[in-house]
Amino acid sequence: RYSSEQDFVADLRQMWFGLYSRGDGEPDSSGFEHIFSGEVKKGKVSGFHNWIRFYLLEKQGALNYLSHNFDGPWDSYPDVLGLQFSWEGFHKELGSAFIGCSPEFEFGLYSLCFIARPGRACHLSLGGHRLSIQTYSWTKSTYGPGKRFIATAYIITP
């Protein structure tokens, strides 16, 4: 897929951190921001799939965990959780996140699935348990011939 490590790193940088517009035409969003930090769109939380950010905002009182609808099959970390929460008054009706893993692990896993299976479910085995990651490309703009930004990536909970 890549002729050199430099090409691979440059592509990762663009697909994750390249800016595009999710709203009024101003380049104001990236896949990394959407997935790891979260955004508010049309009065609802969008993205926000990172447990560390979740933990820090909850500790500050800016986020309120409401409930979960799925707890992964793992007895240790990382685990997966399907959850609901409110963030500064905005609601996330259903979200999913790895719990207890490094951001590097998530970044690597989401990158692998986006490159190998863009726009569809990427089925994996983690610790002997099945896991699916859904990715989507940003289709309204590109950063090169046939190159698409990451719009989102998240764990599919049953």
Active site residues: 34, 49, 92
What gap in Å lies between CA 97 and CA 54, rounded to an integer? Answer: 9
Length in residues, the chain: 158
User: What tokens appear for 29 in the block?
Assistant: 């969003």
CA-to-CA distance for 100 and 55, rounded, in angstroms? 11
The whole-angstrom separation of Cα 95 and Cα 112 is 21
